[in-house]
Amino acid sequence: MDILDQLRSTLGHDAVLTGSGTAKWDQDWTGAYQSTPLAVLRPRNTSDVSAIIKIAYRTKTPVVPVSGNTGLNGGAQAQGALLLSLDRLNTISVLDVQGRTATVGAGVILSNLHTATEEHDLIFPLTFGARGSAMIGGVLSTNAGGSNVLRYGNTRDLVLGIEVVMANGEIMNLMGALHKDNSGLNLKHLMIGAEGTLGIITQAVVKLFAKPQAYATAMVATASLSAALDLLHRVQSTTGGAVEAFEYMPRDFIDGHLALVKTAKPPFNAAYDVNILIEVGATAPRDARPQPDGSIPITSLLQDTLGDMLMDGSVLDAVVAQNEAQRAAMWARREAAAEIAFAKRPFVDTDIAVALPDVAVFLDRMKLRLSAIDANATDLIVAHLGDGNIHYTAYPSTNDLDLAQAIKEAVEDEVQILGGSFSAEHGVGISKLATMRRRKDKTALTAMRAIKSALDPHNILNPGKTIPD
């Protein structure tokens, strides 16, 4: 029996899409990675996924998992492969308010989880611009970061248990809601961030947190990135570590937003080189309860702190959101980053991380390197400054592959010199595969290949991604 006939017999005809039925999945959000899969499969549950993988294992057919298809590195490209869409595994089966956990399918859209938890005054704190389409499976597979890593950590820090279908179709159940489990190797962390190369994540138990009862959000201008870090530390100190987000947007980014969104307004009356979005979340009632004059204590605390810093010259300007509409406008500016970055072509996009004090060092060095490589090139930066994650996009003057490669290697050079990482939160996929080969520790690569070979001996799970041959 033909493999597609086997799959139709197992899953039903409506779960096996071919021809024009695969159009929705034929390219990623950027349009940079296009492919024609053998078929798109839409399993309904973990048993269906297991059955698919068993057939693929027996026939040695490659399988590529896909969630919201909002990745930027080609991790879901599936030329001639079975593209496994997890969109039907979209159930929040348990929401444990007392234990502060949720059991979610890999196809649950991130924003839907946000909505479900907020009804109980809880949050799943992972958030980023694509939350309305990104799914839990993709979030786990790339160990996504986002804007709240500063307070809550990366995806790995937010997951207690997972269920994984292995390369032979067997189901590995690690679905405990335990905060402590030292029973052998941490296979959960091994699977998270592996981009579907070691197994297909079908379910997870994730941590929930108390929803902040009030937010204090502001745009702040500083004279330098060093001064911005002083701002971060000062607000962390005065609020008891309640800073949730600390985002850096330079002048060029603000200009790009104004050009892209015609209804947008600048953050300040004057233009500044260093613009920071800072948000503080208050969970204690004493910090969130309106005062007789209508003021919110956490907002007043942020305003007073910024006022003091304005007086002593530590900051240049500040605007504190006075209502939800103003807060939303501040966040809309930051979350338009992908649209701003990709509005101009050709581009070379990178996603790197360095130690906090080295953010300014990296940017200064790259300005010189970029100019030396291409005198007419420009760049665009936006950064999760609180955790050292920089989204650095360069725009070479010509669409030349050698020129783009020279820029990538310059970024790699500077990151390596500073002891940073060339992949911070978007995964490796295809686009960083050559970088992995050049820059990753050779012993680490050998270990990765050994693990891949042991767990996926036929190399059917997302082959050609993440781990270079």
CATH number, position 9: 3.30.43.10
Q: Evaluate whether residue 417 is within a structural domain.
A: yes
pTM for the complete prediction?
A: 0.94
Q: Answer yes or no: are the C-beta atoms of 420 and 372 closer than 8 Å.
A: no
Q: Answer yes or no: are the C-beta atoms of 148 and 126 closer than 8 Å.
A: yes
pLDDT value of residue 72: 83
pLDDT value of residue 42: 98
Domain interval for residue 310: 214-337
Together in a domain, 234 and 324: yes
Together in a domain, 178 and 276: no
CA distance 50 to 58: 12
Q: Evaluate whether residue 438 is within a structural domain.
A: no
C-alpha 269, offset from chain centre: 32
The residues that bridge with 206 in the sheet, in sequence order, are 102, 159
Helix (H) or strand (E) holding 207: strand 200-207
pLDDT tens digits in sequence order for the chain, 469 residues long: 699 999 999 999 999 999 999 999 998 887 888 999 999 999 999 999 999 999 999 999 999 999 998 888 899 999 999 999 999 999 999 999 999 999 999 999 999 999 999 999 999 999 998 999 999 999 999 999 999 999 999 999 999 999 999 999 999 999 999 999 999 999 999 999 999 999 999 999 999 999 999 999 999 999 999 999 999 999 999 999 999 999 999 999 999 999 999 999 999 999 999 999 999 999 999 999 999 999 999 999 999 999 999 999 999 999 999 999 999 999 999 999 999 999 999 999 999 999 999 999 999 999 999 999 999 999 999 999 999 999 999 999 999 999 999 999 999 999 999 999 999 999 999 999 999 999 999 999 999 999 999 999 999 999 999 999 8
Q: Evaluate whether residue 323 is within a structural domain.
A: yes
Q: Evaluate whether residue 297 is within a structural domain.
A: yes
Out of 60, 85, 110, a domain closes at: 85
Could you say which DSSP state residue 378 is in?
Answer: E
Could you say which DSSP state residue 109 is in?
Answer: B
Out of 321, 337, 353, a domain closes at: 337
Together in a domain, 368 and 331: no
Together in a domain, 138 and 59: no
User: What are the Cα distances from residue 214, in Å, to 117, 242, 264, 279, 293?
Assistant: 16, 11, 25, 10, 16
- Annotate 116-166 with DSSP letters as a single string: HHHTTTEE-----TTTTT-BHHHHHHTT---TTHHHH--GGGGEEEEEEE-
pLDDT value of residue 71: 87
The residues that bridge with 283 in the sheet, in sequence order, are none
CA distance 438 to 109: 35
Using alpha carbons only, what angle is made at residue 61 by residues 163 and 142, rounded to the nearest 5 degrees?
40
Q: Evaluate whether residue 399 is within a structural domain.
A: yes
CA distance 201 to 172: 9
Together in a domain, 328 and 422: no
By C-alpha distance, which of 430, 350, 342 is closest to 390? Answer: 350
Handedness of CA 401, 372, 416, 195 (dihedral sign): negative
Together in a domain, 225 and 206: no
**Residue 59 CB-half CA count within 13 A:** 18
**CATH number of domain containing 181:** 3.30.465.10
Out of 337, 357, 388, a domain closes at: 337
Q: Evaluate whether residue 185 is within a structural domain.
A: yes
**E strands present in 230-388:** 243-250, 274-282, 317-320, 348-353, 378-384
Q: Evaluate whether residue 460 is within a structural domain.
A: no
Alpha helices in 142-240 (DSSP H): 149-152, 187-191, 225-239
Helix (H) or strand (E) holding 102: strand 101-105
383's CB contacts (< 8 A; 6+ apart) are 247, 248, 359, 389, 390, 391
> Amino acid identity, residue 2?
D
Together in a domain, 161 and 232: no
Could you say which DSSP state residue 290 is in?
Answer: P
Phi/psi of residue 68, each to 5°? -80, -5
Together in a domain, 25 and 116: no
Dihedral, 429, 434, 438, 442 alpha carbons, nearest 10:
50
How many domains does the chain divide into? 4
Together in a domain, 219 and 333: yes
Q: Evaluate whether residue 432 is within a structural domain.
A: no
User: What are the Cα distances from residue 51, in Å, to 169, 183, 184, 204, 455?
Assistant: 7, 29, 28, 20, 17
**CATH number of domain containing 273:** 3.30.70.2190
Helices (H) and strands (E) in the chain, counts: 16, 18
First and final C-alpha spacing in the chain: 32
**CATH number of domain containing 404:** 3.30.70.2740
